[in-house]
Amino acid sequence: MADTFYFSRDTKVYLTPAGSTTVGWEIPVLDGFSFSQATNTSEVTLNEMADANEKSRRARQMFTDSFAPAEWSFSTYMRPFGAVPAAGASNWEPSASITGNPQHAVEEALWAYFVGATTFTLGNGSSASAWVGPTLDGSNVSAPITNGAATMDVNFTASERASLSEFDLYFEMGGAGSGTKLTYKISNCAASTASIDFDIDGIATINWSGFGKLLEELSTPAVSITNKITEGSTETGNFIRNRLTTLAMTNGEGGDYNASYDLTLTGGNITFENNLTYLAPETLGVVNQPLGNVTGTRSVSGNFTCYLNNDTGKSAELFDDISADLTTITNNFDLNFKIGGNNTPSVEIDCTKCHLEVPTHSTEDIISLDVNFHALPASIDPGNTAAHYEAEIKYKGNDLS
């Protein structure tokens, strides 16, 4: 019998709400994805002196206590687009009665779960919003994702939760390179980290990682999803070029700082972190499984690089102003990143209150500065206003035909 090999390039990844296959989203991923699950074990050993025959037992025993949370990671491109309202199972807006072309993104489902969405619809024929915001503490919170005609807005107002809603991930392997499909499912997943890289020579990318409850091989090789959303995933005009990225930096601190700084970037990163952990019981005599996720401190941080420039309002002045400030405990800068610039498609990330560390010099052919920043909310209790949180994300894409 001939061996069957599976090539990573043939793999398809799908996301569905936990326990449901009524609707799912195809998530085009880059090379380098991974998933795994380990076990937590205990070791029992003997440690005794010699007996009358100068023998000493040295055996050991191993016991499986529990499954560790399954771990997964993959990268996706940032791909916004204006969806086509149509009666089709593969469309984000499956109702032709919706007006206009609501903005969506191929990776939107991941963002929705990352920022705290709990329920959603596929469009009801009267609303341009595909996601419905959660209800917390008896009051409606702004929808974590708003699909407008001009932009798709992602905010963190719904992320003040002790645990995040969970989803299932399917890794379907096989295709042109192999005759038999093989599918692995990670159930009850939650997204812990979303890291956006805008390397100067690359395409805007998000590195996703998180955890799940259980990794298993499905008995049926192909994923069966009633409404499989693939809109925008085969388009070639919704990729974002990092080289066009700009940074608008203004000072909210006052004092001896400039009102704004004019910096031209050479690269950067923004990392969003939910700091999730998965709890598991510790009952003796059984192999325990993880119960579910618990959120930790929400964190938004990153860095950007630029050449050292001594002109007015440039990077050398920024370094001098920050390093000379010995009285400000938390400085305050508004960083507005436009990945892809003022073009379409693009993604705007606005961090209205950032604490900047003292920049560090990088001694290469051309001296550059590396600036680390920490995006902070307006207060320790931001409330229900999107602008009071660490960041707002706005996707803008071209309408699909």
pLDDT, position 136: 39
Q: Rounded to an integer, what distance in angstroms lies between the CA atom of residue 80 and that of residue 239? A: 8
From residue 217, alpha-carbon distances to 167, 220, 401 in Å are 17, 9, 38
Contact 51, 58 (CB under 8 A): no
Low-confidence ranges of the chain (pLDDT < 50): 1, 123-140, 177
With residue 333 as reference, give the H or E element that holds it.
strand 333-339
Q: Rounded to an integer, what distance in angstroms lies between the CA atom of residue 248 and that of residue 368? A: 18
Contact 286, 160 (CB under 8 A): no
pLDDT, position 121: 60
With residue 237 as reference, give the H or E element that holds it.
none
pLDDT, position 127: 44
Q: Rounded to an integer, what distance in angstroms lies between the CA atom of residue 80 and that of residue 251? A: 30
The answer for residues whose C-beta is within 8 angstroms of residue 188's C-beta and 6 or more apart is: 18, 166, 167, 168, 212, 213, 214, 292
From residue 306, alpha-carbon distances to 5, 94, 309 in Å are 45, 44, 9
Q: Rounded to an integer, what distance in angstroms lies between the CA atom of residue 353 and that of residue 83? A: 33
In a 3-state reduction of DSSP, which class is residue 347? strand
If one counts every other C-beta atom within 10 angstroms of the C-beta of residue 54, the result is 7
DSSP state of 203: B
Contact 32, 62 (CB under 8 A): no
Give the domain ranges of the chain: 8-39+61-396
Tens-place pLDDT, residues 198-207: 888 899 999 9
Question: Looking at this protein, which amino acid is placed at residue 118?
Answer: T
Give the CA dihedral 313, 318, 319, 324, nearest 10 degrees.
110
pTM score, whole prediction: 0.91
> How would you classify residue 384: left for phi > 0, otherwise alpha for psi between -120 and 50, otherwise beta?
alpha
Q: Rounded to an integer, what distance in angstroms lies between the CA atom of residue 53 and that of residue 66? A: 40
Tens-place pLDDT, residues 109-161: 999 999 988 766 654 444 444 444 443 344 445 678 888 889 999 999 889 98
User: Which of 209-228 are b and which e, b meaning 16 or more Cβ less than 10 Å from the residue's Cβ?
Assistant: bbbbbebeebeeeebebebb
User: Which of 286-306 are b and which e, b meaning 16 or more Cβ less than 10 Å from the residue's Cβ?
Assistant: eeeebebbebeebebbbbbbb
Euclidean distance between the first and the last CA atom of the chain, given in angstroms as a whole number: 48
pLDDT, position 142: 63
pLDDT, position 8: 87
